[in-house]
Every structure is written in C-alpha cells, then in structure tokens.
Amino acid sequence: MAFEIITTTASSLLKSGVKGAWFFATDEEIKEALDNPNLESFNLSLSWEDFQYSLIYGENKATGEDDFNAKCKEHHLFRIAKLVQLIGNGTDLPEIEIDEDVQGYVTDGNHRLRAYQFLGKSFQVKVNGEPSFISILNRA
C-alpha cells in the first residue's frame, strides 16, 4: 500500500467509483443553509460526537426522532455551508482522505468534498491504496 496526493474533482471521484456520504445534500439545501442567519454562529469545530451528545443530553436536546433527524441534517448542511464559505475565501483545508482498504470510501473529508463539489473546484486527495487503485483515480 502506498500514500499519494493527487488533485482531482468531485465528478472525477464519482466516475471512479469512490463512495462516501457527501451526496445527500442538494445544491438548493446548501444555498438555503448559506442564506440562513443561524449559520454565522455555527461552530465548525464542534465534533460530530459532541453534537450528538448535545442532542441527547445537552442544551440542544432533541424532542423526538423527527427533531433529532432534522437537527442532524441541519448540522451537516451548516458544516458544508461553512466550508463553502472558507473555500470561497481561499482558506487552505486538509486533504480529503480515501482508503482502498475501506472499499474506496472517503474516510475523512465528506463535508469538504461536498463543499468543493458545490463550488466546482478541484482539491487535494490523500489516497491510501495499491498503485493500480491510485492510477484509476488519476485517470478518472
């Protein structure tokens, strides 16, 4: 196995069969999140685990399954929207990571990938895999 950094686009990754959880957010939902006044106070550094804890036990406690699901979706959309703002302002972000051992899944960077896709920008990907897997991503 080897690590290699490549520059690619979301379209290329989709063509190559890379899987991940970035595709659930539509462009329209991201636009709505960007226009939401609550986005300004969104804490991008809040981990997923801490966010879920707040929904179960904390001040942001969900009132039921539908509320829990709605708050989770909003959290993901706000995270993508914040990243869209950062990328749009020229902020350098860490590489997106893909691991062949995890069936070609994005193991770190699903929200970043969706933000880059929304903006139509290329980005850096850190690929862990055999040279044949890496060459497939490079050709896509």
CA atoms within 13 A on the CB side of 15: 10
What is the model's pTM?
0.84
pLDDT tens-digit profile of 5-41? 878 777 777 777 776 666 678 999 999 999 999 999 9
Range of the domain at 100: 2-139
In the chain, which residue ranges form alpha helices assigned H by DSSP?
A: 10-16, 27-35, 48-56, 65-88, 110-119, 131-139
CB contact set of 79 (below 8 Å; sequence gap of 6+)? 42, 44, 111
Rounded Cα distance, 46 and 95, in Å: 19
Q: What Å distances lie between residue 64 and 29, 40, 44, 68, 105, CA to CA?
A: 23, 26, 24, 6, 31
pLDDT tens-digit profile of 72-129? 999 999 999 999 999 999 999 999 888 877 666 788 888 999 999 999 999 988 887 6
Q: Which residue has the tokens 């990907």?
A: 125
Q: Report the number of distinct structural domains present in the chain.
A: 1
